[in-house]
Structure 1
């Protein structure tokens, strides 16, 4: 399938993406995370349900991607990315599907329908749900053209990638990345309201510290609307 135009890391666009596919913006929306120190993390509306993380692809991150083991965590819906530059949409799907936000979706919404169908399929069979979903493709295309910056061409080489962090009911911090082969557990015992702090600590020690010359990092949290 042809590449998609990448989505801009923009909380307003992410909130609109969800709204177009069925989520009530009066209940949940996305928020910028302006820094990793505790004072700035405390500014983010709580409770945080999921965290999207944008980072530059480097030789270090790419080498780790092929080496790290994945986990078979129960209750997670994982979607493989097969469309180039679709990591923003895959990340948004992972964020909503694997958090309490999913329960707020109308049963007949585009997102709820997609998630229900995906759960009945094996992971390798779920890719067609995205590539053949007209509502998803239309929403992605519309919002990719509405960012504050000039959108790159669909076939342009983009070295930035989105992943998502969620907390499972058992308290595990899990990273969901459509370019890998499944979920990755990053921590086992995260407090009930500790998702954002745990994500910030992991991102700082795992991604930023290992790529000290990279600057294109961005965190966006999914939480209650304000």
Structure 2
């Protein structure tokens, strides 16, 4: 949610999203995802009973975290790595750089829904459908200029249980997403980084992102 880099210039600024499945699902469906998919809370990755209630397969993991110094060190170390672009060779990854301030929840949802098997649930000719069909260089501009995206986002953001902060206030929380690539690699997708970060986790075709090996990437909330 926050401007994690004080030197970064954003094209515009949105209301930060409350971490609430009702809010996130409203946004996801409004952008063009079929109602066959849903985002849900995971309160603990150590509670086997709670995890057993989650519908499978799990296509993406979304983590909302405080922007602590540990996160900042992790982000800075990955920003300068050439692996961000080299890892994409031979991979069908949709990457979108965050250019809208306080909208990291939006970018987490975009990365979760435009990648892997989730892209099969995008409604043709929807906003998301057009986004996926566009090229890497066009996606950021499409999001920035779309009044439809801005209005769908605004309605979802205002649905939260807590009042949105004043526009000028920084929020020290940030959303990141983990996805499974077509070849089984798990990627960390942070819109405020310079690109996808390939983790050390590989999953088989029959494994999803609630596998214990995938959860070792980071303690995450789940879609």
**TM-score higher than 0.5:** yes
Tell me the SS of whatever aligns to 2:64: strand
Runs of 5+ in structure 1 lacking a partner? 205-217, 222-226
Runs of 5+ in structure 2 lacking a partner? 1-10
Aligned counterpart, 1:60: 70
**Is the aligned partner of 1:196 residue 2:210?**
yes
Kindly tell me the number of residue pairs found equivalent between the two proteins. Answer: 203
Q: How does 1:109-124 map to 2 (within 5 A)?
A: 109-117=126-134, 120-122=135-137
**Is the aligned partner of 1:219 residue 2:218?**
no
Deviations 1:109-148 (A, max 9, x none): 111012111xx243xx532111111111111111111101
CA distance in 1, matches of 2:103, 2:72: 17
Q: CA deviation at 1:16?
A: 1.4
**Match 1:31 to one of 7, 23, 40:** 40
CA distance in 2, matches of 1:29, 1:156: 30
**Is the aligned partner of 1:181 residue 2:194?**
yes
The CA RMSD over aligned residues, in Å, is 1.7
Q: CA deviation at 1:194?
A: 3.3
CA distance in 2, matches of 1:51, 1:188: 14
**Match 1:106 to one of 111, 114, 123:** 123
**Is the aligned partner of 1:138 residue 2:151?**
yes
Aligned counterpart, 1:210: none
Aligned counterpart, 2:98: 81
TM-score w.r.t. the length of structure 1 is 0.83
Q: CA deviation at 1:59?
A: 1.6
Q: Is the deviation greater in 80-89 or in 185-194?
A: 185-194
CA distance in 2, matches of 1:137, 1:156: 19
Deviations 1:61-111 (A, max 9, x none): 112211123253210010001111010111111111013121122221111
CA distance in 1, matches of 2:161, 2:174: 18
TM-score w.r.t. the length of structure 2 is 0.84
Contact kept in structure 2, 1:6 and 1:151, CA below 8 Å: yes
Q: CA deviation at 1:151?
A: 1.5
Tell me the SS of whatever aligns to 2:40: strand
